[in-house]
Chains A and B, each alone.
Chain A
Amino acid sequence: MRKEVPLLITFVVALIAMLSQVTTGNVPGLGVAIPDVFERYISPWMTVVSAFSLCLASVNLIVVHSRNVSRKQPEWIYSVVLLGSLVIYGTWCTYIQLNPDDTAASFGYSLIYNYILSPLMTGQWACLAFYVASASYRAFRARNLEATVLLGSAILVMLGATPVGGVIWSKFPVIQRWLIDIPNMTGQRALLIGAAVGSFVACLRTMLGIERGHLGIGGS
């Protein structure tokens, strides 16, 4: 029963979701349209489940990092920082939700976000520029035909995408536009169609119970 019931739920829900896109007919015996069943009942329920999964992620984070701290595992001090931040930030946010008129608390919360969290995240992103610069210098070598095509395209796109390219030669933006619109789009479409077919097959496998990874019991 531990396997069959979840598999049955998966099958029924997936069937309704699939049929809701291709038919407006009623569910036999219920007199309710299939798209209505999906949109009125299953869809809101999925949103609630997603909201719960956020809570579950927090609980999981607390369990894992509390264990790190209690066992004094390597770099446990970072776990203390994470747990402290989680508790302070979570409590503060809950307080604001319960007391929306407390502007001082709300202002303080924004300060933490805007002047601590946000600069840290933006700084981390900005550091990528330096790694990308160094990595491109080392990786873009015209060692063979494929690497040469990649190198040439990269340089043309970089020059076309920045204003300085247009100043150097007015055709750089035109070439960049062509590279994006024709060879890139052709490749992207092929990838999209391939991914869509692959997704459909994966969905069918899950729906029919061949793929059981979501139940934590592996494949067939």
Chain B
Amino acid sequence: MSFMERIQNVDSRIIYILLLIALSLPLLRPIGIPLQTDPMVRAVYDIIESLDPEKDRVLLSMDYSPGAGLDAEVSPVAVIQHLTQRGIKWAAISFGTTDGPMMTNRIIADLEAKGYEYGKDFANLGYMAGEENAVRLFALDCLSVPADVRGNKTDQLPVMQGIKTIKDFAFVMQFSMSTPEMWIRQVVDPMGIRFATGTVTVSVPSIVPYYNSGQVKGVMGGVSSAAQYELLCNNPGKGAALMDAQSMGHLLIIVFIVLGNIGYFVMKDKKDKAAAGQ
């Protein structure tokens, strides 16, 4: 087998090993490639910066599971850190997956370890079954969830005081593994709330029409958005640490695609010439 034939058919295991190396090395020895901030990410940052910690409350819809990996997990962490740094109170609820409350609990455990107070600074209202319908029901009556995940009555939580409908929240953000159509259909358009979304990278192109139409005010897509957000907050964390690895991984994939195509064209040329000579 010639070299050109070989680069067209590289064994998968070689690709796996090289990718593992390309992803691992930057994690062990970060390169520090500079990041550019996406306008959709800055929009989320600007909204949170514009909120008043004294009176504004934020609702987070935590609709992702560990099954979406760090791509879904790092964005909410970055946004919640920003909220708590600014002293903005928030409540979380889940409609899309039963994993949501557990994912929220993880973030809350870190915040409690730093001295923030559950119930006063934030609350986890748990999972509400019914997906799209539940979103609408909660939007019309936020006390339709009788208790939070710790068994506290929702109407007695300090963070929920004065909240009756979703319009009482100054900002609503959904973190999910897909697109936010159900929020747009049931709440954003009929009730006119300020809404942004965080999702996995692969879903961002599907959300762009909603962002450009103004229905979604900001979009965070995966690890890269989280990294940009962390840097906007001057608080580099897991997202920023992963970006070098992501860059190297993408670069390796591009190198393989280019090599595969070079091999393909050289071999095609040879075959064409051989066919013409016969």
The residues of A with any CB-CB pair to B shorter than 8 Å are 39, 43-44, 46-47, 49-51, 53-54, 100, 110, 113-114, 117-119, 121-122, 124-126, 129-130, 132-134, 136-138, 140-143, 151, 154-155, 158-159, 161-167, 173, 180-181, 184-185, 188-189, 192
Contact = CB atoms under 8 A, between A and B. Distances in A.
B209 A192 contact: yes
Given A125-B71, A142-B264, A164-B250, 7 more contacts: A47-B133, A47-B134, A110-B105, A122-B66, A140-B260, A143-B264, A155-B254
Interface of B: 10, 12, 15-16, 19-20, 23, 33-36, 65-71, 98, 102, 105-106, 109, 128-131, 133-134, 136-137, 140, 144, 150-151, 201, 204-206, 208-209, 212, 224, 243-244, 246-254, 256-257, 260-261, 264-265
B257 A129 contact: no
A23 to B, nearest CB: 14
Main SS class of interface, B: helix
Nearest to A51: B129
* Max chain B C-beta neighbours (<10 A), residue from A133, A142, A181: A133
The 3 closest A-B pairs by CB, nearest first: A164-B247, A47-B130, A125-B69
A133 B15 contact: yes
A137 B250 contact: no
A140 B257 contact: yes
B205 A188 contact: yes
Nearest to A148: B261
A118 B208 CA distance: 30
A184 B205 contact: yes
A126 B245 CA distance: 13
Given A129-B19, A129-B23, A164-B251, A185 B36 contact: no
Contacts of B261: 140-142, 151
B15 A134 contact: yes
A118 to B, nearest CB: 4
B109 to A, nearest CB: 8
Given A124-B67, A163-B243, A164-B33, A188 B206 contact: yes
A158 B98 CA distance: 32
B241 to A, nearest CB: 13
A166 B247 CA distance: 10
A211 to B, nearest CB: 19
A133 B251 CA distance: 11
A44 B144 contact: yes
A113 B67 CA distance: 12
Contacts of B224: 161-163
Contact of A167 (B16, B33, B133, B253): B33
Contacts of B65: 121
A12 B105 CA distance: 41
* Max chain B C-beta neighbours (<10 A), residue from A44, A137, A164: A137
